[in-house]
Structure 1
């Protein structure tokens, strides 16, 4: 069944992926008039420690993080999260809603800053901690470089700093994608092996997680509400993302992030470059990194043993610092 908020949006609540109780669901609008779906949960146990602002990776959606949201709440945190523009239950930006699209990577900063102003500050208890995965990790890094006062600490899961196995550098890929966009091909899909629609048949050797139940749980959610899904990214999205990754790989970037920050890399990541995470971690003044052995890309969706390591790192870096 779906739990429907009077304001309009809803979250998918199914037996294999139950929604944590106490959700408040709504929409907010960005300054450029994009409607985004968000959800908020109060803490469920323990003393109050603040609010986790959870931002997702490309093609993800709020429902994917129900288990992780419950884990944060048990630690005394409220959790606020939203779907980025162009995915999940937020406004799609082009005629084909199945493709991943954004005009500029800075538009994700617009989303996050708007969420901070519209939802976090007026409605959620401080202090605020930013937790970002993959593409959301890169957007979180950019936020940390732009404004050191929005969040007290930043915790990143497999941030998208570079992609391995490409014919050119991130800057070179950005230039190619920008040229293709300029000549009118910005809405053309860019297919990658990693972007296959998830199903039971695609679980073996998938790049995301070694945990079959957590993998299939997401299949169940998308079967329940297919409109949450997006597939391949577009050339315009790729141009935006490669451009942002180029900035993150620049010589001056590490010193620009002045918020305490911890990045986790996955040792078996086949989606983003773990080496890039290690290199940036070594160069940051206020940040550091760890690599989780045996883990694939989606650290929060991995096996209990791997998630245990992820949350041990989270507790040492945020939970124990928030008391």
Structure 2
């Protein structure tokens, strides 16, 4: 299939989604290479790669909180058949990577910088030492914060980067002063700091009508199926400490935004209820002021989209995916 024809298929895949996922996508998934390395504090990190001798470009994908590379099979397929090798990491504490707590449903990290150190280790071992002529990164949500912090350490690591709904700020459902007071209180009490943050708990399957991640019923159902079929992938709510670390990580991203000089496309979901879109606007403004504007000088807004832009309905997803591939092509 030519790249033009392949990209055209993004516009109407949901019409025959079951046939696609049980046929071509399943065959593609069988070609994966599943690998592992040891991250900070001895935590085992799992990652997957799809490679072809003909490809001279690679994309490293950094998923969001609770996600797994298993969920990213469709995106890997789409990028692979646009001529890219694809690597996807399962961050510590989720997916098929190792956990830090006995309750494996708790979303936890000791230090947010551990995520960044893990990504740097994977980059050194697989990307920097690889065969590719061009190197790109694509990150979603929490993965966007991780990758941006990595770039602040290593500004020349990638030729270009695309961020989808990056977690530069978290939507809080309580006043900010109250949240900070609760988190500071919990931080001094180990049994509390490693427990589920208020209002959260173990993983459970929400009905589609209650989800705030995607408008695509087909993709939502398939993603739930992954967690149903492999219970070890499940991660529930974050711990109090993770929320604190996540907020501080977003603040660090903004504080050092002017140091992020890598060519960047920042995609924003218009109706995001998970991350704070105002921080995307702030980040882009700071980069523009420093002379390193994001592509277009501001976020590319996907109208009507929920948080998981790359798992949205075909029309919204295709707009984002075409923008990403076109952007990377400009830095080919």
* TM-score bin (small chain): 0.7 to 0.9
Once residues 173 and 250 of structure 2 are traced to their aligned partners in structure 1, the CA distance between those partners, rounded to angstroms, is 13
Question: Which residue does 1:6 correspond to in 2?
Answer: none
Q: CA RMSD in A?
A: 2.3
CA-CA distance at 1:105 after TM superposition: 0.7
Q: Which moved more, 1:68-77 or 1:283-292?
A: 283-292
Aligned to 1:217: 222
Q: Secondary structure at the match of 1:318?
A: helix
Q: Distance in 2 between matches of 1:179 and 1:114?
A: 34
Q: Give the 3 Å change call, closer, same or farther, for CA 136–29 of structure 1 in structure 2.
A: same
Distance 1:172 1:279, change over 3 A: farther
Deviation, 1:27, is 1.1
Question: Shift in Å at residue 239 of structure 1?
Answer: 1.3
The reply on whether 1:119 has 2:122 as its aligned counterpart is no
**Cα contact 1:175–1:239 (8 A) shared by 2:** no
Partner Cα separation in structure 1 for residue 243 and residue 287 of structure 2: 26
Give the C-alpha shift of residue 316 in structure 1.
2.3
Secondary structure class of the residue paired with 1:60: coil
The size of the alignment, in residue pairs, is: 302
Q: Which residue of 1 aligns with 2:257?
A: 254
Report the CA distance between 1:39 and its aligned residue.
0.7
Deviation, structure 1 residue 320: 3.7
- CA separation in 2, counterparts of 1:76 and 1:191? 44
Q: Which residue of the other structure, out of 106, 109, 113, is the alignment partner of 1:102?
A: 109
Offset from partner CA, 1:64-121 (integer Å, 9 cap, x none): 1100001111111000111000111000001111110001110111110111122223
Q: Which residue of 2 aligns with 1:310?
A: 320
Q: 1:85 to 1:178 in 2, by over 3 A?
A: farther
Give the equivalent residue in structure 2 for 1:8.
none
Which residue of structure 2 aligns with residue 291 of structure 1? Answer: 301
Deviation, structure 1 residue 275 = 2.1
Question: 1:124 offset after TM fit, Å?
Answer: 5.4
Matched residue, 2:243: 238
Instruction: Name whichever structure is richer in helix by fraction.
Output: 2
- Give 1:194 shift: 11
Residue 281 of structure 2: aligned partner: 278
Task: Give the 3 Å change call, closer, same or farther, for CA 192–320 of structure 1 in structure 2.
Answer: farther
CA contact (8 A) 2:201 2:236 kept: no
Residues 34, 208 of structure 1: alpha-carbon distance in 2 compared, 3 angstrom cutoff? same
Alpha-carbon offset, residue 146 of structure 1? 1.4
Unaligned stretches of 5+ residues in structure 1: 1-13
What aligned pairs does 1:179-194 form with structure 2 within 5 A after superposition? 179-184=185-190, 185-192=192-199
Change (3 A) 1:191 1:229: farther
